[in-house]
């Protein structure tokens, strides 16, 4: 069954584009693909599994994720960035409390 997989891939030059094209050309089941460096977008059509396409493109060493996952990953990063300061603050309070008695 043919399906379309859309990825966001961190590409900064034509060498990056070439690497992505090279791995997709070798991938079994790929019927066609489009690599858009300006949009950082790779669209793959064919009899392929989304996870397999993600894994294959990731082999280029470029940051790769599903196009739809962009917003949730950003939210996770923001949540992760917010979490460490309270933990550091808690660690800072522990020595103060221990030193007080």
Q: What is the pLDDT of residues 7-52, one digit of tens each?
A: 999 999 999 999 999 999 999 999 999 999 999 999 999 999 999 9
pLDDT bucket at 99, cuts 50 / 70 / 90: low
d(CA 64, CA 78): 19
The neighbouring-strand residues paired with 30 are 46
Delimit the domains of the chain by residue range: 3-99
pTM: 0.65
- Laid out side by side, the sheet with 41-46 consists of 30-36, 41-46, 3-9, 64-66
Q: Residue 78: its pLDDT value, please?
A: 43
49-62 per-position pLDDT tens digit: 999 999 999 999 99
Nearest of 47, 4, 42 to residue 23 by alpha carbon: 42
Residue 71 confidence (pLDDT): 38
At the top level of CATH, which class does the domain 3-99 belong to? Answer: alpha beta
Q: Alpha-carbon distance 17 to 90, whole Å?
A: 46
Tokens of 5: 């997989």
């Amino acid at each position: 069954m043919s399906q379309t997989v859309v990825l966001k891939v961190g590409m900064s030059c034509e060498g990056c584009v070439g690497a992505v094209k090279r791995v997709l050309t070798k991938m079994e089941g790929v019927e066609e693909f489009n690599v858009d460096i300006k949009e950082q977008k790779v669209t793959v059509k064919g009899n392929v599994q989304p996870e397999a396409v993600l894994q294959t493109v990731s082999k280029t060493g470029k940051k790769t994720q599903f196009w739809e996952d962009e917003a949730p990953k950003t939210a996770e990063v923001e949540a992760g960035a917010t979490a460490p300061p309270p933990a550091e603050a808690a660690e800072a309070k522990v020595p103060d409390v221990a030193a007080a008695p």
